[in-house]
Structure 1
Amino acid sequence: MDNTKFSLLSFTGKMKVLHLSWMAFFITFVVWFNFAPLLQMVKTTLGLSTEQIKTLLILNVALTIPARVVVGMLTDKYGPRLVYSTLLAVCSIPCFMFAFADSFIQAAIARFLLGFIGAGFVVGIRLVSEWFPHNELGTAEGIYGGWGNFGSAAAAFTLPTLALMFGGEEGWRYAVGLTGLMSLVFAVIFYKNVTDTPKGATYFKPSQVTAMEVTSKGDFFFLLIMKIPMYAALALLAWKLSPSGINMITDVMVNTVYVTLIALYAYEVSQVWKVNKKVFKEEVPEMHQYKFKQVAVLNVLYFATFGSELAVISMLPLFFSETFELTPVMAGMVASAYAFMNLMSRPGGGWISDRFGRKPTLLILTAGLAVGYFLMGQVGSDWPLWLAVATAMGCSFFVQAGEGAVFATVPLIKRRMTGQIAGMTGAYGNVGAVVYLTVLSFVSYQTFFLVIAGTAVIGFATLIFMEEPNGKIAEVNDDGSVTLIDVSH
């Protein structure tokens, strides 16, 4: 831990690591969301249909679900410095591919591969947790997440202007290419300026990274059950691309995806067994135990918070333009108020967690989330526009503060597995987005908001079973000695 003063204006020690981390995350979001603001230009240049554009938007988020789990494991094993730098460098390649795409197929492959950069978030969660003490952790993780998340809004504001500056129908290519270059350059800056831990601190690694460790028989089965929704979400995405959905891929291809997902799940079950079979033979010493239900609750809450944020950001401009008959530009500006809240709300949620406890904060914010979406479900053309915008911003505060509070808790469960836990919880956010956007394709806007409110109520009910992190986490050093890490006041 680095116990120097928490000062946002400082660029030394832990604050330097925090600033470089949110900048890395910011760049991943600019690259990940560099398509939506340039959508019309891309559509015209490549001669794409509306269905093909929708397909590209789906493909953009598909790979992020498994990527977050995989990147979480790699982070725990190889350390955040190497993993984040590699991710930024490698993902610049599909970014350049998209900039040079001449056909729908080329664009589709590039957007699918770019989903991997959405996993960058997980790396910084582990890095920040290594540098900040528990009583500042929520605030630091909130700043990391909130300011980094703002990359999507920054892309929306700057990329169309950049494309126009470069000029011509091909202007968008230069704007996209520039984001890839930014990612490549920052990979080097990050690698040269960051260390995994403060000087003299140990970076604890799990004994196995092929599957998450659990510490009881019940948790073994619980983990396998919690893995299923991630595979189900990928199957749902495949179904959306099938002849029954937008007819991009054939039935044979869809069935191949289904079979592959079943085979992957079976393989994952075998890995979970390999890593955890010892819990069926002997009891894990109490000091090394943790409760997997803590992870499961956070998964459900992130499904409702980040899942709804991703879904709502993509449909809100359309909702405002159709409900209040606004021009696309005006609707985009009004809807951006929702994303703008990230700058303060997410750090706010983390800060409140640091001050008033993890569980009470999550209970209050989840209740606010349910009420917020319930009110959004009441918005109609008879409402004054200012009131609809104020309702969206109020709802957005609870959504993003809730995300901040979730990730104020994640690093306090089991230090050496923070990457894996963050990966699973982060993946659940994307599962939520897939589920909510699928629901939206069948129901009205009002029903869509009420469905999210319903899942927030379910999240609130699961929260009752969560236990406030307290005391210390025990981690074993290479020489067999034990280090105790504070997780509560």
Structure 2
Amino acid sequence: MSSPKLNLLSFSGNIRILHLSWIAFFISFVVWFNHAPLLAPIRDTFQLTEGQVKALLTLNVALTIPVRILIGMLVDKFGPRVMYSVLLAICGGLCFFFALAETYQQLALARLLLGCVGAGFVIGIRLISEWFPAKQVGFAEGIYGGWGNFGSAAAALSLPALALAFGGKDAWRWAVGVTGVISIIYSVIFYAMARDTPKGSTYFRPKKLGAMEVTSKGDFWLYILLQVPMTAALMVLTWKLSPAGFKLIDQTTTNLVYVALLALFTWNVWQVISVNRNILAGEVVPEIHRYKFKQVAILSAAYAIAFGSEIAVVSMLPLYFKDMYGLSLVQAGLVGSSFAIMNLIARPAGGLISDRIGRKRTMSIVMVGITCGYFGMSFMGQWPLWAAVTVTVINSFFVQAGCGAVYGIIPLIKRRLTGQIAGMSGAYGNVGSAVFLTVLSFVTPSVFFLVIAASALVVLGIVQLLDEPSGQMAEVMPDGSVQMIDVA
């Protein structure tokens, strides 16, 4: 397979869409994590306890799991141009809500709602898949995800300086407000300049809205099964906010949330049944229109390991280095950031390698790397600092490359369902982070790394069941004719 050649210095055609997309994702990440580098002045303003600070961090990711699923459905139905513009505009407004909060309750609610902006990732995945052929889509998706993810690091580097420039006790409010202004302005720019598909191409939409369409009874039951871990992860997050955890909500509220989550699970199952009644009734889908839902399940598990471990490790690594090696806060932050900064090159590299040597082979390689990498990190306390940083950076490459490899495959499964597939896999990334962070609360960092390594080893075995995308996928045109789309 020839190497994809993309002129990234261009701003026309599909490269224009790529740049518009990663900038939108970059801004969404700035908004998502605009509180993190400003937590010290926020804590001082509201006189927050350690538990209240940790609760804010939990709230920031709580809604991302269900909203990624919802956004995946909506982007397939209404298109990326509208959905990205709306999401950026709404969350830009929520930045003002956060910046103007006068009580901790308002601050917490704003942070909970701002977690929705993390679902923006799903939108760009569908958009990129519309503009790039199979031989380039992995690399393009990797650039989109990797460069966009750097928004969190950019927020950490720029917002403290911006707050310092404003000065005064409300400086953090002004800095957060600026991110809201940027998000709203860019929502208008994106709507004006982006297009869902190249001129003359068809944007394929799902036949039904509410759940993903499957094409066999076995896939139906697997789809139902995949709803369970997502609900369980939301219950874990609720538990962390309860009197048994950060004490943000009382036991009555906790119980009500549990009931609501069970109701949501029941509703999701009903939607899956409603959308796929024809399959349960025994209808046989023509071979040309079938896809294997096991592909979705496998990629969701892989993303739970890759992205889930990334979020969990980034959350704990600076403090780990500070305590283990006696570093200052600044030094520990710089060393810890090495794990996230690799996104700039590793995600695109994962997509590019996937394009060149094959999707399944790449997924296997990165899972081996992740297994060995976290196994090595479990011994870091016994090594000198330079060795610990080296193994961290090497492992980070495989972790980020794994994220890029996953989303190099997703657009090649079923075009009209790309948003929903991306949404489910993305949600499982947050499921993974919830699980790993919960494990960390009960064990030492060394055991924490070993648990991730063991999980990656299990997923390595599961990845062997992945089918290499080949041939073509079929989509139905508005006039009823069938269009074949190359996936290899």
User: Match of 1:475, SS?
Assistant: strand
Name 2:16's counterpart in structure 1.
16
Q: Quick one: distance in 2 between partners of 1:103 and 1:49?
A: 14
* Per-residue deviation, 1:155: 0.6
What is residue 316 of structure 1 aligned with on the other side? 317
Letter in 1 for 2:424: M
Q: Which structure 1 residue ranges, 5 or more long, are not aligned?
A: none
Q: CA deviation at 1:46?
A: 1.3
Deviations 1:285-322 (A, max 9, x none): 00000010000000000000000111111111101100
Amino acid at match of 1:183: S
Matched, 1:72 2:59: no
Letter of the 2:241 partner, please give it. L
1:426 maps to 426
Deviates more, 1:68-77 or 1:87-96: 87-96
Give the corresponding residue for 2:459: 459
TM-score (norm 1): 0.98
Which range moves more in the overlay, 211-220 or 263-272? 263-272
**AA in 2 matched with 1:177:** G
Distance 1:369 1:100 in 2: 42
Q: AA paired with 2:193?
A: N
Which residue pairs with 1:411 in the alignment?
A: 411
The equivalent residue for 1:162 is 162
Instruction: Give the TM-score taking structure 2 as reference length.
Output: 0.98
- Secondary structure of 1:330's aligned partner: helix
Deviations 1:439-464 (A, max 9, x none): 11111111111111111111101101
The structural deviation recorded for 1:108 is: 0.1
Aligned residue number for residue 355 of structure 2: 354
- Residue identity matched to 1:321: K
Q: Residue 380 of structure 2 aligns to a residue in which SS? A: coil
Matches within 5 A, 1:446-485: 446-485=446-485
SS of residue matched to 2:470: coil
Shift in Å, 1:267: 1.2
1:92 Cα deviation from its structure 2 partner: 1.1
Displacement after TM superposition at 1:5 (Å): 6.3
Give the distance between the partners of 1:200 and 1:103, measured in 2 at CA.
Answer: 52
Root-mean-square deviation (CA, aligned residues, Å) is 0.9
Q: Deviations over 1:392-413 (max 9, x none)?
A: 1001000000000000000000
Task: Give, in whole Å, the separation in 2 of the partners of 1:484 and 1:397.
Answer: 35
- Counterpart-to-counterpart distance in 2, 1:234 and 1:193: 37
Query: How far 1:12 sits from its partner (Å)?
Result: 0.4
Aligned to 1:330: 331
How far apart in 2 are the matches of 1:303 and 1:101?
34
SS at match of 1:6: coil
Q: How does 1:45-444 map to 2 (within 5 A)?
A: 45-280=45-280, 281-380=282-381, 382-444=382-444
**Letter of the 1:251 counterpart:** Q
Distance 2:167 2:390 in 1: 36
Superposed CA offset, 1:126-166 (max 9, x none)? 00000000000000000000000000111111111111111
Partner-residue secondary structure (3-state), 1:70: helix
Q: Structure 1 residue 282: deviation in Å?
A: 1.3
The structural deviation recorded for 1:169 is: 2.2
- Structure 2: distance between partners of 1:452 and 1:93: 37
What's the CA shift string for 1:207-246, capped at 9, x where partnerless? 0121110000011110000111111100101111111112
Ranges in structure 2 where 5+ consecutive residues have no aligned partner: none
Kindly report structure 1 stretches of 4+ aligned residues shifted beyond 4 Å.
none
Give the Cα separation in 2 of the matches to 1:5 and 1:450.
Answer: 39
> Percent identity, aligned pairs only?
58
Q: Quote how far apart the aligned CAs of 1:168 are.
A: 1.9
CA distance in 2 between counterparts of 1:182 and 1:454 reads 42
SS in 1 for 2:331: helix
Residue 30 of structure 2 aligns with which residue?
30
Partner of 2:367, secondary structure, is: helix
**Residue 6 of structure 1: how far off its partner (Å):** 2.0
How far has the Cα of 1:260 moved from its partner? 0.9
* SS of match in other structure, 1:91: helix
Give the distance between the partners of 1:279 and 1:339, measured in 2 at CA. 43
2: CA distance, partners of 1:173 / 1:326? 30
Distance, in Å, in 2 between the alignment partners of 1:185 and 1:168 is: 26
Give the Å deviation of 1:278: 0.5
Indicate the residue corresponding to 1:486 in structure 2. 486
State the secondary structure of the residue aligned to 1:244. Answer: coil
What one-letter code is carried by the residue in structure 2 that aligns with 1:296? Answer: A
Please give the alpha-carbon distance, in whole angstroms, between the structure 1 residues aligned to 2:145 and 2:125: 8
Q: Secondary structure at the match of 1:195?
A: coil
Q: Which amino acid aligns with 1:284?
A: V
Cα deviation, residue 387, structure 1: 1.1
Match of 2:474, SS state, is: strand
Q: Which amino acid aligns with 1:403?
A: C
Residue type of the alignment partner of 1:348: A
CA distance, structure 2, for counterparts of residue 378 and residue 154 of structure 1 = 30
Give the letter aligned to residue 278 of structure 1: N
Q: Which amino acid aligns with 1:437?
A: L
Hey, what's the Cα distance between the residues in 2 that align with 1:123 and 1:178? 24
Residue 276 of structure 2 aligns to a residue whose secondary structure is helix
User: 1:93, 1:263 → 2: CA distance?
Assistant: 30
Residues 403-451 of structure 1 deviation map (CA, whole Å, 9 limit, x = unaligned): 0000000000000000000000000001111111111111111111111
For residues 111 and 58 of structure 1, the distance between their equivalents in structure 2, rounded to whole angstroms, comes to 9
Q: In 1, distance between residues paired with 2:5 and 2:12?
A: 10
* CA deviation string 1:329-363 (max 9, x = no partner): 11001111111111000000000000000000000
**Secondary structure of 1:360's match?**
helix
